[in-house]
Every structure is written in C-alpha cells, then in structure tokens.
Amino acid sequence: MPEITVEPVERFDLDLRVPGDKSISHRAALLGGLAQGESLIEGFLPSEDCHASLGAMTALGARAELLDDGQATGRAKVRVQGVGGRLQAPEKLIDCGNSGTTMRLLAGILAGQEFSCELGGDHSLNQRPMNRIIEPLERMGARLTGHGSRQTAPLTVHGCSPLQAIDYPLPVASAQVKSCVLLAGLFADGTTRVIEPTPTRDHTERMFDTFGIRWHRDGATIAVDGPQLPQATGRVVVPGDISSAAFWMVAAASSPGSRVRIRGVGLNPTRTGIIDVLRRMGAEIEVIPDPAGESGGEPLGDVVVQGTTAGLRGTVMEGAEIPNIIDELPVLAVAGALAHGPTAIRGAAELRVKETDRIAAVAANLRAMGAAVTDYDDGMTIEGGHPLHGARLESFGDHRLAMSFAVAGLRAHGRTIMADTACVATSYPLFQQHLNIVLDQRATG
Ligand code: S3P
C-alpha cells in the first residue's frame, strides 16, 4: 500500500496549475458521450473517477480517444464521438469505481433508456445511499433495485422510454441528485423541475448551455423540457479544480510567510466558498479573473493566497454555505485546528455519506495529531491553538482525507505518515509531485 510521508515545512512558495475539475470533467464525458456529434474535451481530469465516467459512456456505445493522457499536467485531451442519443445496452455491469458522481448522474441517463443495466462500484461506493436517486427516478417511471434500506449498489436500472416529467423538491441539497433528475428530464415528456433547498454547484446547468440544451432557472427551481438531445458544439475546456487547489490554499494560509499562486482554476461562485471561509479566518487572498473570461461556461482565473504573520483565527461554517464547501470541509477542519480559537462546522451531516464517514475520519485523525475535537451528527467543533504533532494516520480509503492530512503534516511537529494513499488517484493524480515541490523547500524554510 503506498504511503505519503510529510515533514513540517516552515515556509514555502508554490506556483502551479492543479489538474482539471472533477465535477466538470464528469459532465463533459457524460454529455459528450450522449450527444449528437464530436466534442474535444481539454483539461479533462485524468483521474480514476473521471475515467469511470468516460469508460461508462464507451461501454454504452460512445467512442473516446485520448489525444493527450494528461500524465504530466493533470489535464488530458479527449475526443469523444457521441451516440446521438442512441445508447447501446452494455454487455456487462458498468463499474463506477469510487465515483458517486458517475453512478448517480449516469443512473439519470439510463433511467430513460429502453434497456436494463447494472451499475456497481468499489467497497465504498457500494455502501453509499442510492435511495436519494431511486425515489425520483421511479416517480418518473423507471425501476431501480438496490440492496437494503438505503438501496445501495450494485443497482439494476430498468429504463423506461419515455419517462414522465416530474416536479421534484430535493430532500437533500445535492448537486448529484439534482443533476440525475435533470438528465433524466432529457428523456421525459414535458417539463421536469427540480427545486433546491439551498443552491448547489451548477455545472450541469452550465454544461447544458454548452451542449445546446434549453433549460431555465426561476428562483430555486431549475426546469428542463424533454425530450431533448444534447448537440456537440466542438471544444469544452475544463478549468482547474478548486477542490484540489484547496489543499495548497489552506497550506499557505496557515503558514505565515508562505505564498501560493494557483493558475487557471475554476471560479464558479457555487464552488468558491473556500475563499470566503479562508478570508474570514484572516487569510490574504487575491483573485485574478482570467481576462479571456469564461471557458466552456465556467469562470476561471488565478488565486493567490498568502499566510499572514497573525495566522488564522477560527470561524463558523454552517447553513447555506455548506453545499458550496462540502468537499473542502476536511481540509477546512485542518485549517481550524491550525487556527486560534474555536472553529465550528454544523449542518454538514452529508459528510457522513461521502467516500467515508468524513466526520468520524477527520475527528479521528485530528485527535491523533493532538487536536481537541468534539463531533456531532452534523459536524464538529475544533478548539484551535493546540499544536499538532506528527502521527501515523489512516486515509480511510478517502482521497480528500489523505490529502487534507498531508497538509496538516506540513504544519505539525515531527513526521506524519499517511497510510493507504492510492485513493489520491481518484481526484488528484499529481498530488505527490506537487507536495514534493513544497517538501523540497524544507531546508530553505
Ligand atoms: C458533486 C457533488 C457533491 C460533491 C461531489 C461531487 C458533483 O456531492 O460532494 O464530490 O459533481 O455533482 P453531493 O451532490 O452528493 O453533495
């Protein structure tokens, strides 16, 4: 099992591009594969999760050619020939790996087909709740079978054509569930409406624009008319992933005198909550929008974070802000442990059903490093100001846990060893390389 070893680094300077955005890469692969025509996806994240989406679409009849595998840059170039709405029944179970986004969004597409198909995942994904997508898709006329009360995968999706349009108030603020229902809406007769309790990432809606799909938003309601077929319009450019940039943003913000510049990162306002949180905690952050403007419907630019001599102070993260920072909460909890004063994360029960139970896992690792943490059903409070010490830690097979605690290790006393880090390939294939640039500055720090 690979491990990541981290020694403390006093001060560092980092100037890099992070790999392509995971959420946007998934949507480009799924809509590109479904569309009429050919798409060139640039900046595609060559991670296990996004390859699961691309592999699923090829199993369903799309053609995908890797023009650049993105091994050196984390940004692949893929040519996708879509099926023009005519998906083929796959020969065997579609393996979604660790990717909840692949399984939940793809289920929306498969619900509207005339065939049945099986979706499976790894041990973690096969434990995550799928009843949240099964319920609306069955209301639309598909039939899905999972296992147990939470209807976990492997799932069998018995499609139905056409589906029936529904109005669906989301019981949880989830972009995956919203996207699943909107994608199913492409195969429904009539207007499908999803009503969000709180705004969630809107990459599906923006990608709909790229693929010429008519949709509209009215307050909290997003509506799409069916049936509609996505049309390839040529190039889709995926910006850098702010959820990957988050690790270096927190590392710099919590190290007085350090500075990081992340270039070409996505600045979609449904994802930039981490900038607001770190500013509230006292970090100095400059955002430089790209003069070329939007790329494939998504704003992007550079983000510069400096660690100030005063250091970070604790904050409260709760309410409508939570969906915006949901993937950054593990590393923001680390920021809280490195700050002065208490930090609270509340209203984040969704963390319990991510790649692992991220409340339990973050609390366990923070405690192992000497932090004082109280955990609740829906979050935790962290008493900042207790110096962290290096420790042997578990990743719990969760990519964001592994990387968040590598960042904690940079600010701890002594050596930190993170076990079982193959999971990093889920979202950030160049993480170790980028970490080495920081670790190499140890002697001069
Ligand atoms: C995602 C939505 C979020 C997020 C996940 C990616 C997406 O999940 O945590 O990493 O691409 O739509 P939920 O929709 O379950 O909150």
Residue 178 CA to ligand 1 centre (angstroms): 10
Do both 202 and 253 map to the same domain? no
Instruction: Name the average pLDDT for the chain.
Output: 97
Measured CA to CA, the distance from residue 70 to residue 64 in angstroms comes to: 15
Split into its structural domains, the chain has a count of 2
Residue 230 CA to ligand 1 centre (angstroms): 22
Do both 100 and 137 map to the same domain? yes
Do both 11 and 29 map to the same domain? no
- What are the Cα distances from residue 359, in Å, to 101, 177, 338, 349, 365? 20, 21, 18, 8, 10
For residue 233, tell me if it sits in a domain.
no
Choose one of 48, 150, 170, 176 to mutate for the ligand 1 pocket test, by most ligand atoms within 8 angstroms of C-beta. Answer: 176
Do both 191 and 318 map to the same domain? no
Q: Is 12 helix (H, G, I), strand (E, B) or coil?
A: coil
Question: If you write DSSP's letter for every residue of 150-188 in order, what string do you get?
Answer: TTEEEEEEE--SSEE--EEE-SS--HHHHHHHHHHHTTE
Using the Cα atoms of residue 271, residue 350, residue 223 and residue 114 in order, give the sign of their dihedral: positive
The two tokens of residue 129 are: 């709740």
Do both 43 and 149 map to the same domain? yes
At 378 the pLDDT is 98
Do both 201 and 335 map to the same domain? no
Long-range contacts at 281-284 (CB < 8 A, ≥ 24 apart) = 281/253, 281/312, 281/313, 281/314, 281/315, 281/335, 281/339, 282/308, 282/310, 282/311, 282/312, 282/313, 282/339, 283/249, 283/252, 283/253, 283/307, 283/308, 283/312, 284/308
Measured CA to CA, the distance from residue 385 to residue 371 in angstroms comes to: 8
The two tokens of residue 436 are: 């080495």
Among candidate residues 160, 191, 221, the one where a domain is terminated: 221
Measured CA to CA, the distance from residue 358 to residue 158 in angstroms comes to: 32
What residue owns the CA closest to ligand 1's atom 10? 327
At 294 the pLDDT is 63
What pLDDT band is residue 278 in, cutting at 50, 70 and 90?
very high
Measured CA to CA, the distance from residue 173 to residue 363 in angstroms comes to: 23
What residue owns the CA closest to ligand 1's atom 9? 327
For residue 290, tell me if it sits in a domain.
yes
At 445 the pLDDT is 42
For residue 444, tell me if it sits in a domain.
no
Do both 324 and 428 map to the same domain? yes
At 291 the pLDDT is 75
Among candidate residues 221, 249, 267, the one where a domain is terminated: 221
> Residues 385, 389, 395, 399: what is their CA dihedral angle, to the nearest 10 degrees?
60
Output the ligand 1 site: residues, CB below 6 A.
23, 26, 101, 174-176, 179, 201, 326-327, 350
Contact between residue 352 and residue 359 where contact means Cβ atoms under 8 Å apart: yes
Do both 284 and 157 map to the same domain? no
Per-residue pLDDT, averaged over 220-238, amounts to 96
Active-site positions read 327
Do both 342 and 421 map to the same domain? yes
Choose one of 326, 331, 332 to mutate for the ligand 1 pocket test, by most ligand atoms within 8 angstroms of C-beta. Answer: 326
Among candidate residues 192, 221, 250, the one where a domain is terminated: 221
For residue 129, tell me if it sits in a domain.
yes
What pLDDT band is residue 150 in, cutting at 50, 70 and 90?
confident
Helix (H) or strand (E) holding 245: helix 242-253
For residue 234, tell me if it sits in a domain.
no
Q: Residue 157 pLDDT > 90, yes or no?
A: yes
| Length, in residues, of the chain | 445
- Which residue range(s) make up the domain with 215? 22-221
Do both 46 and 186 map to the same domain? yes
Choose one of 47, 48, 101, 208 to mutate for the ligand 1 pocket test, by most ligand atoms within 8 angstroms of C-beta. Answer: 101
What is the domain-level CATH number for residue 141?
3.65.10.10
**Measured from the CA of 175, which atom of ligand 1 is nearest?**
14
Residue 443 CA to ligand 1 centre (angstroms): 39
Q: Is 403 helix (H, G, I), strand (E, B) or coil?
A: helix
Could you read off the pLDDT of 413-424 as tens digits, one per residue?
Answer: 999 999 999 999
For residue 62, tell me if it sits in a domain.
yes
- Percent of the chain exceeding pLDDT 90 equals 96
Residue 323 CA to ligand 1 centre (angstroms): 9
For residue 94, tell me if it sits in a domain.
yes
Provide the terminal-to-terminal Cα distance of the chain, rounded to the nearest Å: 30
At 226 the pLDDT is 97
At 9 the pLDDT is 97
The two tokens of residue 116 are: 């049945």
Residue 442 CA to ligand 1 centre (angstroms): 35
**Measured from the CA of 201, which atom of ligand 1 is nearest?**
12
Per-residue pLDDT, averaged over 333-341, amounts to 98
Do both 141 and 262 map to the same domain? no
**Measured from the CA of 22, which atom of ligand 1 is nearest?**
11
For residue 245, tell me if it sits in a domain.
yes
**Measured from the CA of 326, which atom of ligand 1 is nearest?**
9
Do both 52 and 11 map to the same domain? no
What pLDDT band is residue 444 in, cutting at 50, 70 and 90?
very low
At 233 the pLDDT is 85
